[in-house]
Structure 1
Amino acid sequence: MNRQELIMRFSLRTLTDTQLKITHMPLKESAVLLAFIERNNELCLLLTKRSQHLRHHPGQISFPGGKHDVEDENLKTTAIRETQEELGIEFDDIDLFGELPFHDTITGFRIKPYLGFVDQRANITANVGEVSDVIEVPIKTFLFNPTHFMLPIIRPNLTVNVYFKPSQGHAIWGATAAIIEQVRLLLED
């Protein structure tokens, strides 16, 4: 799959609702960037491994992104700012082309995913205060992978489908895997 095909598929299909809607508690607004980058003639998704000392989700695989700051004009600004802070990618090296529906989490966040291409010549430098590793996973890894699965987790008054998408030796699960599942649904034939 190449850049043009990805844009075309996203423009032809839409998801109209989040996979999980939390109404029993206040949620913190946040945004992430699904950063696609071309490597060796195939599209990859940039993911980060969060530093171990972070308060929320230490050591987990995630998209670049984070909590909306009051100074951010909107959630799109949040996604770009957080990507710059975490990976050092300059604004001019990111070409946004879409967004996905909000995704609420049982840990108290409402995540707005944005989609963008990162110039393959961009200087990607992990901010070690937030990111311990940068991971590039080919999109095809997420499309038809028999090792990916989902488990229903039952909480009082709530059942949540938790996605697991182990890839390239990394445990990708939770909100990150659920958002990747939205991408998979949009890309399947």
Structure 2
Amino acid sequence: MELNVNKLKAELKKTLPGISAQYEMAPVSRPKFDIENLPEDQYRPSAVMILFCKDEYDNLFIPLIERMAYNGTHSAQISFPGGKYEMADENLQNTAIRECYEEIGLRYEIEIIGKLTRLFIPVSSFLVEPYVGVCKIKNPLIVPHEREVKSVLKLSLSQLLDDTIIEEGVVQASEFKIKTPYFLVEGHKIWGATAMMLNELKAVLKAIS
């Protein structure tokens, strides 16, 4: 499946699908938040990189990371490369690129083409800016961070656009069980904020298809 980067770039400048698309994949119990009026002391600025890459056969994919198990809120979850803003970052776009480099080894190969709607993650207080980029080289060498990343999952564009991979059930989050929709990809359940952002991206892609 081909991706028209110019059309996607133009679509990302329009009014985005926003929370209506995001909340189609939200956990059942998740409340809605007024992001524009969140007090600064109640969130941590952060960013993720949604990166379109091509493999050696020209198949499009988005790299997702499976985080290592640890004593924390996002232990062993599937997510985009990303993390919190640091003082050395020029801006949140720089945060997304830096984290992408730290977690999967890609930096100079990235061209930013836009971003999706910000999303608040209450369990960690992250206010996430999702940047969309394309990899400027074919079949990039992905190097997972040896301490933070257990594996890299390559979500193909055709998989993302396939409605049959969406299921609903119970997932384990730390000591809690949560009822939620999720994308089932190669045995992995992609849920929560990552699924919500993916669903908005899916809506944008369908608008240009």
What TM-score, normalized to structure 1? 0.84
- Matched with 1:43 is 60
Per-residue CA shift, 1:144-177, capped at 9, x if unaligned? 32231468xxxxxxxxx95411112111000000
2:8 maps to a residue whose letter is: R
Q: Please provide the CA RMSD for this pair.
A: 2.3
Q: How does 1:20-35 map to 2 (within 5 A)?
A: 20-22=32-34, 23=38, 26-35=42-51
Per-residue CA shift, 1:116-166, capped at 9, x if unaligned? 112224321111211010111111111132231468xxxxxxxxx954111
Q: Does 1:2 align with 2:2?
A: yes
- Matched with 2:120 is 104
- Matched with 1:130 is 148
Offset at residue 2 of structure 1 (A)? 2.2
Q: How does 1:1-189 map to 2 (within 5 A)?
A: 1-3=1-3, 5-12=4-11, 13-15=14-16, 17-18=18-19, 19=22, 20-22=32-34, 23=38, 26-39=42-55, 40-53=57-70, 55-89=72-106, 91-107=107-123, 108-118=125-135, 119-149=137-167, 162-189=180-207
Offset at residue 179 of structure 1 (A)? 0.3
Q: 1:183 to 1:121 in 2, by over 3 A?
A: same
Hey, which of these two has a bigger chunk of helix by percent?
A: 2
SS of alignment partner, residue 163 of structure 2 = coil
Per-residue CA shift, 1:18-75, capped at 9, x if unaligned? 4453548811111000011112222111100001126331110000000111111110
Unaligned ranges ≥5, structure 1: 152-160
**Identity value in percent:** 30
SS of alignment partner, residue 129 of structure 1 = coil
Contact 1:54 1:130 in 2 (8 A): no
Q: Using CA pairs below 8 Å that are at least 6 residues apart, which structure has the higher relative contact order?
A: 2
Unaligned ranges ≥5, structure 2: 23-31, 170-178
Number of residue pairs matched by the alignment: 178
1:38 maps to a residue whose letter is: K
2:88 maps to a residue whose letter is: E
Q: 1:35 to 1:6 in 2, by over 3 A?
A: same
Give runs of ≥4 in structure 1 deviating > 6 Å.
none
